Structure 1
Amino acid sequence: MTEASISVSQDQFSCSICLELLRDPATLSCGHSFCLACIRDYWDRCPGTGPWSCPQCRQTFAPRPALGRNGMLAEVIEKLKRTGHESGRAVAAVTTQGYAGPGDVECDFCTGSKRRAVKSCLTCLGSYCEVHLQPHRDVPCLTKHRLVAATVHLQTRTCAQHERILEAFCRTDERLICLLCVMDGHAGHTTVQAAAERTEKQRALLEMKGEAQRRRLVREKEQRDLSQDLNTLKASAQTALRDAERVFSELMDFLQKKRSEVAALIRARQEAETERATALLQQVEQEVEELRRREAAMEQLLRIDDHVEFLQRYESQSTSEDCPRIVFVPQFSFSDVIASVSAMKENTEQIFRDELDRTPHRGDSRTRAVPLIFRTTVCPLSQPACGLETKCGSNRPSSNPSTAGASHESHTGV
């Protein structure tokens, strides 16, 4: 029967401080029992002058009670341990649950293994597990304490000078203070309750949030516009590259054609002048051969000793005609071709420089791409002296007739 009664009232054999089965139980005059070591450690943490209270019902004692081991209760607990009754196992299961783990807030009143705190008291500045929180729910003087979710930052919520809860705000110094600070170091300052200051700060924060949201929306639109401009720029640049490649390819084809025409012109003039010079060279060679024969005949005449024969043959040698002076004057000057090609090169380079100067400068975002336009000009090789009829630009005649005429005269040979 005794074991059955123990099984029914098993909660009476647990220490409300360590939440384990009582070890060396000590019973206070209020009737609550605790481990002897737990209640001594609990009271040792109280001020030296007391008061000393029961951790469970908060009844105070003065002076500090002299504690002793309750032998009868200890014997009952030992019997409970020996029986191994299911109720004992249930008590052990209850006491092993809810211990604080990494990151949990520990109960300030648990000794030994700390249980997880569920609430923190801003008045007591302590954290309590579910068991040790019970007095704050039952004792009338403790129910008025301010309970918050368990937190490890209780010290940051108290005044370092007065060790009181921070529940006021000094607008002059822009800092949280306690009620004693209002009368002590902040006399004459503008102070309000922390809740009122929070309302003001929250209103200002909402305005700043709205402004930040407005600016974000503006920036997001600018971001979209910039992305679109970048895509447009990329597409325009690719189109411009293709067009530039096409234009330069056509220009190189045109220059290659002119190069072939100039080379053909030079070879044709070379062949014509070579033919004329070869004919003159053959004529000179014939005349030289004739003069050599006459010179040999005269040498033979000088060797005749007979005076009559010498005089008779001399008459046939004395009649001679003067040979006209033969001079080869080229009718075509290759230097004129080089001068014309060089002039065309200089004019083309000047056209490129002038047209590129008309394009927008780099970094000017207000301008748009302008296509490259080549000025129409008459190619020097198109002059009659060059023999080429194709022009680099248009078929418009030169703006200076006198210059064109002079250029024509300088390309004609004698």
Structure 2
Amino acid sequence: MSATSCVLSEEQFLCCICLDVFTDPVTIPCGHNFCKNCITQHWNVNSARCQCPMCKKHFRARPKLHVNTFISEMAADFKQSARKTGGDGSEIQVAKPGEIPCDICTGTKLKAKKSCLTCFASYCIIHLDPHQTSDRLKTHLLTDPVDNMEGRVCAKHRKPLELFCKTDQTCVCSHCTVTEHVSHNIVSVKVEYEGKKAELEQTEANIQQMIQERQLRCQRIKQLKIHSKEDAETEIANGVRIFTVLMQTAERDLNELIEMIEERQKRTEEEADRYITELDQEVSELMKRHAEVQQLSRTEDHLHLLQNFTGTSTALHTGNWTGVSICPPSYEGTVTEAVAKLEETLSREKEQLLHEARLRRVQHYTVDVILDPHTANPWLNLSDDEKQVGCAEVRRDLPDNKERFSLYNNVLAQQSFSSGRFYYEVQVTGKTDWTLGVAKESVNRKGIIPLSPVNGYWAVGLRNGNEYLSLTSPVVSLSLNFRPQRVGVFVSYEEGLVSFYDVDEAIHIYSFTDCCFTEKLFPFFSPGLNHGGVNSAPLIILPVNHAY
């Protein structure tokens, strides 16, 4: 039986009254088949005339109805097969809550496959078949299942809402155009749909752009949040280090002050002790002579006094202590001078430590930069490791691809950055002309365009051996106390910051602030012209030494 049902089509098992697969099929005398309940109700309603609904044959008496077991079994087998797949091979699904059900199904409602805007009804896969096979029903307008079919009918005229009144901004039927909406601006629903759809697409595009802008801003804020945490941790570490050094310096100077005062006091005590010792010795000798003189002066022996008088009257050899005194050392101003000296030392060390801390902070974001030979001007020579670039005396024969700089002696790095922070260092020793910085991806690489932020360059440079410049608009001269030998370049994309440092002296050279970056940034290098060998030294990308 299963094999038979696979060959037979669904319409062979449909009752023409309920348009559903037979339930208790019966065969009337003319040979046509119907559901027993359907034909019974049909004859009950039309009791005056007992005829076949299909061929219209009249019967004198109502035929007795008996279930056709053969057709019943085939219909049951077909129903079982149809529960798995529809006539077009689609899976049959029972309508779930929230899904649009078939309006024709009795009992269990199947999920609607299509809705007919002509019949104002929704059909499952099984009951959709007449709309796909009947020539008359094929002209109906089918759409994906829609809810509330009543909402697609004019409540007043019971006609399809197939027109749109632009004057009142509402959907109308054909009768409405000659009554309430006469002389109004009327267009078809399709025309208005296309217009509104275009507006929605534009709105969608605008919203999508707003979403992207806010997602980008959110991403940047998240990045800044990360940077803020990193900066706080680095600043705490730098603060601890700087204060430790300053406290050690203050403690060292305090110890030196104490040592100096104690040394003065020690020298004073030693001098006093020496005087005291000498005076004690003289006092001892004087007391001895005093005893001798006293004894001789009390004698009654004239001869004895005269014989010993010469020895006792001899002058004593004692020191002259008239101008000798001990003055305690004066410490007035000692602490004041020490504090002033300490302040000067601390100020000098603090300044140096702050410079070193700033450099240490940006060196945390070191990246490995390699030159891109596809962007190098033909006058430039790149080393095999693509870490050095200098100007040659002979122009190389290279293809003029779109990435290559054709007029300026420029070259970009292979790495690009569109978020976050990055830092790299370049040796400029022995050069009289150089330019360093970053450039955006879209810079003009063929024309004569000044290097400035307006044209997508954020750079500093050296000209004529001693003129340091910030390539702003207009160019700004930089007054430097030292000739940088090693230049550090730091970029914070989200903050719009590009900073340059003299690495050896740990000094900040210049910063571009409040920049608005919207595309990729590339590290940018220009070793300048050769100038007959005077400026032949290359720019060298160096590994960063985190000594600070």
Single out whichever of 186-195 and 209-218 deviates more from structure 2.
209-218
- 1:243 positional shift: 8.8
What is the match of residue 95 of structure 1?
A: 79
Q: Which amino acid aligns with 1:328?
A: I
- 1:252 positional shift: 6.8
Gap change, CA 1:153 and 1:345, over 3 Å in 2 = farther
What is the match of residue 336 of structure 2?
A: 339
Q: Which amino acid aligns with 1:341?
A: A
| Higher RCO (Cα < 8 Å, 6 or more apart) | 2
What is the match of residue 51 of structure 1?
A: none
Matches within 5 A, 1:272-283: 272-283=267-278
Residues 72-91 of structure 1 show CA distances to partners (whole Å, capped at 9, x for unaligned) of: x31x53xx2xxxx6x65432
Residues 1-50 of structure 1 show CA distances to partners (whole Å, capped at 9, x for unaligned) of: xxxxxxx9x98886452423336x59699966333268749999xxxxxx
Matches within 5 A, 1:30-41: 33-36=34-37, 40=41
What is the match of residue 167 of structure 1?
A: 162
Gap change, CA 1:175 and 1:327, over 3 Å in 2 = farther
Tell me whether 1:329 sits opposite 2:327 in the alignment: yes
Matches within 5 A, 1:92-241: 92-96=76-80, 97-98=82-83, 100-103=93-96, 105-129=100-124, 132-133=127-128, 136=131, 142-159=137-154, 162-207=157-202
Residues 164-197 of structure 1 show CA distances to partners (whole Å, capped at 9, x for unaligned) of: 4332233344444433444455445433212112
- 1:124 positional shift: 1.9
What is the match of residue 24 of structure 2?
A: 22
Gap change, CA 1:268 and 1:20, over 3 Å in 2 = same
The answer to whether the 8 A contact 1:107-1:127 is kept is: yes
Residues 250-303 of structure 1 show CA distances to partners (whole Å, capped at 9, x for unaligned) of: 767766665554454334323222211212333455577789889999999xxx
Q: Percent identity, please.
A: 25
Gap change, CA 1:175 and 1:12, over 3 Å in 2 = closer
- 1:329 positional shift: 0.6
- 1:341 positional shift: 1.6
Q: Secondary structure at the residue paired with 1:120?
A: strand
The answer to whether the 8 A contact 1:15-1:35 is kept is: no
Q: Secondary structure at the residue paired with 1:179?
A: coil
Q: Distance between the aligned counterparts of 2:39 and 2:108, measured in 1?
A: 12
Q: Which amino acid aligns with 1:94?
A: F
Q: Distance between the aligned counterparts of 2:115 and 2:28, measured in 1?
A: 28
- 1:198 positional shift: 2.2
Matches within 5 A, 1:261-300: 261-283=256-278, 285=280
TM-score by length of 1: 0.52
Q: Distance between the aligned counterparts of 2:104 and 2:52, measured in 1?
A: 9
Greater share of residues in strand:
2
Max Rg structure: 1
Gap change, CA 1:29 and 1:124, over 3 Å in 2 = farther
Q: Secondary structure at the residue paired with 2:115?
A: strand
TM-score by length of 2: 0.42
Q: Which amino acid aligns with 1:95?
A: K
Gap change, CA 1:370 and 1:156, over 3 Å in 2 = farther
Q: Distance between the aligned counterparts of 2:133 and 2:336, measured in 1?
A: 116
Gaps of 5+ in 1: 1-7, 45-53, 60-64, 307-315, 374-414
Q: Secondary structure at the residue paired with 2:187?
A: strand
Q: Which amino acid aligns with 2:23?
A: L
Q: Which amino acid aligns with 2:37?
A: L
Single out whichever of 223-232 and 275-284 deviates more from structure 2.
223-232
Greater share of residues in helix:
1
